[in-house]
């Protein structure tokens, strides 16, 4: 019997797939290293310093025109044991303005999880349901595309062009495409979490703005035309 021989196109395809898998492995490794470093840095902040920096982030957010014009906003409740940015004062001020506020949820399904954001009328109704963060009641209405004007997104690290590194679960990367566009996405991070470049792959969702305690950057302009 003759021996089968791969043609040039098949060889090129095989090399490309190998290079792609190697690149993905390098990106994943880089993310793990950055994730570990940023967890350590943020966790080492004294509570008073974290509170002061969080207040600055909220102050910067209030200067963002898209937030000021929003009638509905998706926030996140801080995981205090992980030293996350505290947006609770922003929640309070937005409610005073009559803004509708949504919070993230993860509902177990037969094949994994259904994710999204639910309308929250009262923060006292938030509960931890075994997934590490506070979620709205399961009976609360789920946001559909067009019902949320702006989403505030947490990060362990971010680049000025709108790519972020989270905890590695992929919640926001799979959920944001359901709302954005038209919703505007805003990453919030502390200034030392801002990277010159964040490793990313095809499945990572790029956000529109990046807000830190030191400033605001328009990630869209830095990425250029898509």
In a domain, 26, yes or no: yes
What is the count of structural domains for the chain? 1
Average pLDDT in the chain:
89
For the beta sheet containing 157-159, the strands, ordered from the edge strand earlier in sequence to the opposite edge, are: 164-165, 157-159, 194-195
Q: How confident is the model at residue 225 (pLDDT cuts 50, 70, 90)?
A: low
Q: How confident is the model at residue 3 (pLDDT cuts 50, 70, 90)?
A: very low
pLDDT score at 201: 81
Residues contacting residue 42 through CB under 8 Å, at least 6 positions apart: 50, 82, 83, 156, 190, 193
Q: How confident is the model at residue 164 (pLDDT cuts 50, 70, 90)?
A: very high
Q: How far is CA 127 from CA 62, 77, 108, in A?
A: 27, 10, 15
The CATH number of residue 49's host domain is 3.40.50.10420
Q: Tell me the two tokens of residue 31.
A: 């993310």
In a domain, 18, yes or no: yes
What number is the average pLDDT over the span 49-76? 97
What number is the average pLDDT over the span 114-138? 94
In a domain, 1, yes or no: no
pLDDT score at 28: 87
In a domain, 192, yes or no: yes
The Cα–Cα gap between 34 and 30 comes to: 6
Q: Kindly report, residue by residue over 58-68, the tens digit of the pLDDT.
A: 999 999 999 99
**Hey, is 221 helix, strand or coil?**
helix
Q: Tell me the two tokens of residue 145.
A: 């595309």
Q: Tell me the two tokens of residue 164.
A: 């972020």
Count CA atoms within 13 Å of residue 219 on its CB side: 25
Q: How confident is the model at residue 20 (pLDDT cuts 50, 70, 90)?
A: low
What is the percent of the chain with per-residue pLDDT over 70, rounded to a whole number?
Answer: 90
Q: Tell me the two tokens of residue 137.
A: 């009641």
Enter the pTM of the model.
0.86
Give the angle subtended at the CA of 176 by the CAs of 170 and 178, to the nearest 5°.
120
Q: For residues 206 and 144, is the Cβ–Cβ distance under 8 A?
A: no
In a domain, 53, yes or no: yes
Q: Kindly report, residue by residue over 165-224, the tens digit of the pLDDT.
A: 999 888 999 999 999 999 999 999 999 999 988 888 888 899 999 999 999 999 998 876
Query: Which residue segment(s) compose the domain that 81 sits in?
Result: 8-223
The Cα–Cα gap between 120 and 139 comes to: 10
In a domain, 3, yes or no: no
In a domain, 101, yes or no: yes
For residue 6, pLDDT over 70 is answered with: no
Q: How confident is the model at residue 36 (pLDDT cuts 50, 70, 90)?
A: very high
């Amino acid at each position: 019997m003759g021996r089968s021989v791969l043609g040039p196109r098949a060889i090129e395809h095989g090399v490309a797939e190998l290079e792609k898998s190697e690149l993905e492995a390098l990106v994943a490794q880089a993310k793990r290293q950055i994730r570990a470093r940023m967890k350590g840095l943020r966790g080492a902040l004294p509570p008073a310093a974290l509170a002061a920096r969080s207040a600055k982030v909220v102050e910067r957010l209030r200067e963002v025109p898209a937030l000021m014009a929003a009638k509905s906003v998706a926030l996140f409740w801080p995981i205090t044991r992980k030293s996350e940015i505290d947006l609770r004062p922003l929640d309070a001020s937005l409610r005073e303005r009559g803004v509708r506020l949504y919070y993230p949820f993860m509902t177990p399904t037969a094949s994994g999880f259904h994710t999204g954001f639910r309308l929250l009328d009262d923060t006292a109704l938030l509960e931890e349901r075994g997934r590490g963060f506070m979620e709205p009641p399961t009976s609360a209405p789920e946001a559909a595309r067009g019902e949320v004007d702006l989403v505030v997104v947490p990060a362990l690290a971010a680049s000025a062009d709108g790519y972020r590194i989270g905890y590695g679960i992929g919640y926001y990367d799979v959920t944001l495409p359901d709302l954005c566009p038209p919703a505007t996405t805003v990453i919030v991070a502390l200034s030392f979490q801002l990277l010159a470049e964040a490793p990313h792959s095809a499945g990572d969702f790029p956000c529109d703005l990046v807000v830190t305690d030191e400033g605001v950057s328009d990630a869209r302009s830095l990425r250029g035309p898509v």
